Amino acid sequence: MAAPRARAQTAAMPAAESRALAAVAGRALLDSRANQELEYLSDEIGGRVTGSPAANQAIAWALGEMRKAGLEDVHEEPWTLEHGWTRGFAHLRILGGANQVLHADAMGWTGSTPAGGLDAPVIAVNAYHLRAAEREAGSWRGKVLLLRPEGAPPKNAMSTFTQLDGFLKAAYAAGTAAVIAGQGAGLAAGMNLTHTGVLGFNTVYRVPVVNLTAESQSLLQRLMDRAGADAVRIHVDIQNTITGPVPTANVVGEVRGTSEPQQVVVIGGHLDSWDLSAGATDDGTGAMAALAAGRAIVESGYRPKRTVRVVLFTGEEQGLLGSQAYVKRHAAEMKDTVAALILDEGQGPIDAMQVGGHDAVIPELEPLARLLAGFGSPRLNDGSSFGTDSGPFILAGVPGINLSQDSPDYRYTHHSVVDTFDHVRHAVLIRNAAELAVMAFTIADRAQRLDAPWTPAQVKAELERQGLEGELRAFGLWNFGN
């Protein structure tokens, strides 16, 4: 993948301390309710898997909070998830010896073993060479496959994840009993934690797949290393429920612009979460920061020239589905969508703005970056993120700006049982909401829009330059033909 192109910052921004921006930042910093709202979302509603009753409760609650905040045209935008999924249980136990329990949780949108489970030998598969491993699928029937990395890792860190699709389909076709894997290679981060999530964008895998804690996987690997191939057997009983289509919705409200209201700056995060815990840092922090930023603009008493639209997406955890639904629904407006600023990288402070390939906007954003020096000026680069809801906007030719965050503890809270409100950095959430409000207001109030909308040919050329075509094809997101 090509490295993002960074730009040096240049001359100072005139009138950086404007009354409007001071009022917006002041409201966000001094009268924030972001933490109280996040506490309610996390503790009273909890985990919000798309299409679940809790996710629907969160949608209704967010609509009410947007109205209380004074946002205009508050409404939900329904869309349908092709398959619902509900976690049951995952019971794994080593047979023989100490008969030890393996601590496991099922990966999302994966299948079940026969009722009552089964006993099966465990064999290792090199997680770095999954396509090559498929040649051995004829020997997988009735076995549990343990993915473990061996040798040098691939140059593209995403290659293991992108190869999982074909591998898991081959495993199911071969009659594999179950697969032990995560979203990448290696042991789960943290002490006694699993990290779940989907293994492909908008995809159901009928083979049962679980993630083990690092301690359980290390134990299993030691036993296998001592005993040899097929010698270690486990009992595995995994039960999940896969359903047909389920309704869901994005939640939308806005601060209408004064002179060019048809032009829109989107700010947002995703309201849905994973189900092992409360989804406080993924992405309660981002969603509540966006809501707080919209409220701060309303309460400042100032209005920008263009509309600032707050969008809380659902379906992000299943493959950016809510943001894809938004872009599809608003396809005619994409030419008037100036930018989309997305916050979805944990509990840390914003440290960079990745502008989705639109490097022409970097010099235009340099005065804004300097204006935010009190927060720690964000670095600017033209990288593209398809791990957040910025991706569908990039594909539509819009600067989909991923607000990268410095969140070292996110590796522990991400999709795990410790994604709880007590791991939120409360002062940072307020700071991020204020910074997002200033970003949105400044971009919406500029004399000229950031960039002209890109044609599909321009988008295709930039994504190819960044080396993203293979990844996007694997995700089913490449819409530019062969």
pLDDT digits (tens, 9 = 90+) for 270-290: 999 999 999 999 999 999 999
Task: Assign a CATH topology to domain 87-241.
Answer: Glucose Oxidase; domain 1 (3.50.30)
Cβ atoms 167, 190 nearer than 8 A = no
CATH code 3.40.630.10 region(s) in the chain: 19-83+245-475
Residue 190 has which token pair? Answer: 């943290």
Task: With a cut of 60, say whether residue 16 has pLDDT above it.
Answer: no
For range 222-238, the mean pLDDT: 93
- Cis peptide bond N-terminal to 422, omega within 30: no
pLDDT digits (tens, 9 = 90+) for 40-49: 999 999 999 9
Q: Which CATH number describes the domain made up of 19-83+245-475?
A: 3.40.630.10
> Which tops the pLDDT comparison, 400 or 228?
400
| Angle between the N-to-C axes of helices 426-444 and 19-30, in degrees from 0 to 180, rounded to the nearest 10 | 160
Residue 64 burial (C-beta neighbours within 10 Å; 0-12, 13-18, 19+): exposed
For range 418-443, the mean pLDDT: 98
pLDDT digits (tens, 9 = 90+) for 325-383: 999 999 999 999 999 999 999 999 999 999 999 999 999 999 999 999 999 999 999 99
pTM confidence score: 0.94
Task: With a cut of 60, say whether residue 313 has pLDDT above it.
Answer: yes
Cβ atoms 130, 160 nearer than 8 A = yes
Smallest CA-to-CA distance from 401 within 370, 364, 373, 456 is with: 364
What is the rounded distance in angstroms from the CA atom of residue 226 to the CA atom of residue 63?
A: 57
Q: Which residues in 314-349 belong to E strands, given as ranges?
A: 337-342
CATH code 3.50.30.30 region(s) in the chain: 87-241
Residue 424: φ, ψ to 5°: -85, 140
pLDDT digits (tens, 9 = 90+) for 199-213: 999 999 999 999 999
CB half-sphere exposure, 334, CA atoms < 13 A: 23
How many CB atoms lie under 10 A from the CB of residue 238?
26
Rounded alpha-carbon distances, angstroms, from residue 324 to 310, 387, 392: 16, 13, 5
